[in-house]
Amino acid sequence: MREHRIPLIILAGLLVLPLVVREPYYQHLLILVLLWVTIGTGWNLLAGYTGQVSFGAAGFFGVGAYTAGLLSHHLGISAWWGMALGGLVAMVIAFPFGWITFPLRGAYFALGSLALGEVMRQVATSWESLTEGMVGILIMQTFISKLPYYYVALALAVGSIVLVHLVTRSKLGYYFVSIREDQDAAASIGINTTKYKMVSLAMHAFLTGMAGALYMNYMGFIDPHVVFSLHDISIMAILVAIVGGVGTLYGPAVGALIMVALQEIFRTAGFGGLKALSDAMGGGFMTVVTKYVSQAHVLAFGILVVVVIMSLPNGVVGDWARIKRVFKRG
């Protein structure tokens, strides 16, 4: 248990945090962080441990969200049932997808996975009789308070980390990493590479689909552009894992916190701080800065991510020893 002492302390902190942080806005951000912990951890299992870099997370996220949404919309079944089903339906989608794309290796698999989210988005947009197309799906949220969503998101995030932890300590984890390191060598020691890549993909799909279904429950509204978004979901999943540390247990959790915080800071121009500063300084130069940062927040965010990745190629968790050294010297 000793090696998990710090994570357990953090978990205890997270359990009481929303009771202290009562501002709904900050609770909302915390829920987003936890959602990204789950998605990033699932992506990390497939890409970080099994070596199959995927741009398809949005495909599974959206399928999970739509599963929950459509059950509620058409059949009047609580979207909470969609939580479990969302993960399972995403897994069902994962099988034909894996069957088609796993003969591809490296960049070619990544390109194939890029198509997944786009195909699903097109389906959700065009199949209006089922999905309402671009209009989207609106459901009644179960709770007004954010607390229930927070705790469900926390359970999902913790569950995904525990799952990855158990996997890496088992035969499954050894097989995943062997496949990542060298597929031919893995086959030569008797590993059915296609089967184990499929298992890894199914786990990734399940976690991402669950996160999608929770998103539906929490937000109450989805449309194809939101939940099948390439940059807001698929790329974000990759960034969360890369910034935190690919192939490390806690990397995606750290990455999720950093990425959601960064995104929000840029989106709101430092939580309005920049604007307050420019007002205080009586306009001029700071007003210009504020204007551009707020308008080009996606660009500024992108540049910052590039800098982080270049200076910490193994992510914050992967390069932790280096970060500590730098701070000791300084």
Partner 1 sequence: MAILELHEVSKNFGGLRAVDHVSLAVEAGEIFGLIGPNGSGKTTIFNLISHVYPASDGRVVFQGQDITSLKTFQICGLGVGRTFQVVKPLKRMTVLDNVIASAFLRHGTMKDARAQAEKWLDFCGLTPFASHLARGLSIASRKRLEITRAMATEPKLLLLDETAAGLNPGELDEAIALILKIRSSGVTIVIVEHIMKVIMSISDRIHCINHGQTIAQGTPQEVARDSKVIEAYLGHGGGN
Binding-site ranges for partner 1 (CB under 8 A): 169-171, 174-175, 177-178, 181-182, 184-193
Beta-carbon contacts of 116 under 8 Å, excluding residues fewer than 6 positions away, are 55, 56, 58, 59, 97
Closer by beta carbon to partner 1, 126 or else 170: 170
Nearer to partner 1, 227 or 246 (CB): 246
Taking the complex as a whole, the smallest distance from the CB of residue 318 to partner 1 amounts, in Å, to 11
Question: How many other β-carbons are positioned within 10 Å of the β-carbon of residue 119?
Answer: 15
Using the minimum distance from each CB to partner 1, give the nearer residue, 74 or 171: 171
Least separation in angstroms between residue 101's CB and partner 1 is 18
Which residue lies nearer to partner 1 by CB, 190 or 282?
190
Q: Least distance in Å: CB of 161 to partner 1?
A: 20
Shortest reach from residue 249's CB to partner 1, in Å: 15
CB 106 to partner 1: min, Å: 16
Provide the minimum distance between the beta carbon of 255 and partner 1 in the complex, in angstroms, as a whole number.
20
Residue type for position 227: V
Q: Closest CB to partner 1 among 129 and 188?
A: 188
Q: Between 103 and 272, whose beta carbon lies closer to partner 1?
A: 103
Least distance to partner 1 from the beta carbon of 170, Å?
7
Nearer to partner 1, 171 or 324 (CB): 171
242-272 burial code (b ≥16 CB/10 A, e <16): bbbbbbbbbbbbbbbbbbbebbbbbeebbee
210 in Cβ contact with 87 (< 8 Å)? yes
